[in-house]
Structure 1
């Protein structure tokens, strides 16, 4: 949706985003997506503002943020590499691919490389079960991962 937001602080920007989108039917998810697009994550300071403006409890907003794996509570790296951890991908060698990627990056899931280049995240289905194992780098999906393609994706993310 890309709401234009003036101001510098989290509260001002959050209020502007909520104000622009709260008229939608079921506005919470679009608001959270827009806040994450603005900040790169969903700041904790935004949650009480969203709750108040939508007449929800803080617990309801927190529950939605923590339920969906795409919302982050801290900034991601410049690139986000997501590895599918669903059963189809695991059965086709996903565990070995995950171990290789973790070793190449020197991080575990939910971590970011020290240089801030790459955040590694698990996901539980990218919809490419017939092309397992799969990954997503910055929104672009890749199927039939093997050790070489995994290394190529890591190298691309490191650039």
Structure 2
């Protein structure tokens, strides 16, 4: 996928930086706002963030890379997260993830060829009683099988 920012995205990012530059502890809300708007936090904007918040580029990079929630590259229109926590693994998530990745032809952190879906690992969705769990966009689903995941994906990507 293309990692070039559009003029509109740059304007959105600068507006978020301006809105958060004088907020104490504003880095996390700023990063969330940027990712919510454009889907990821581009490394190319770290210098702008660091200057506005009086942080080093290394500090910005450290926060983005420390939290698994933040992404540094564009993602697909939809995001499928497969839980890899112990409860889900005990209930078959490893088999689920290998079947889903094989069906989609992607690995973790990759996007389908049509740009419709990115697959990401997640390390607990808080749905342990219904393992294995996945999250498609912002909705958590439990007791999943590869067939159920395929149905969900079909509903949002083709339905």
For the residues of structure 2 that align with 1:104 and 1:85, how far apart are their CA atoms? 18
- Conservation of the 8 A alpha-carbon contact between 2:133 and 2:143: yes
- Residues 49-60 of structure 1 aligned to structure 2 (within 5 Å): 49-60=48-59
Write the deviation string for residues 113-133 of structure 1: whole angstroms up to 9, x where unpaired. Answer: 010010000000000011110
Moved more, 16-25 or 108-117: 16-25
Distance 2:106 2:146 in 1: 17
Show structure 1 runs of 4+ deviating over 4 A.
9-12
- Secondary structure of 2:81's counterpart equals strand
Instruction: Show structure 1 runs of 5+ residues with no match.
Output: 1-6
With structure 1 as the length reference, what TM-score do the two structures score? 0.89
Q: What is the RMSD computed on CA atoms of the aligned residues?
A: 1.7
Q: Aligned pairs, how many?
A: 153
- Contact 2:83 2:123 (C-alpha < 8 Å) held by counterparts: yes
Provide TM-score, normalisation by structure 2. 0.89
Partner of 2:80: 81
Aligned residue runs from structure 1 range 120-159, under 5 A: 120-159=119-158
**Structure 2 counterpart SS, 1:45:** helix
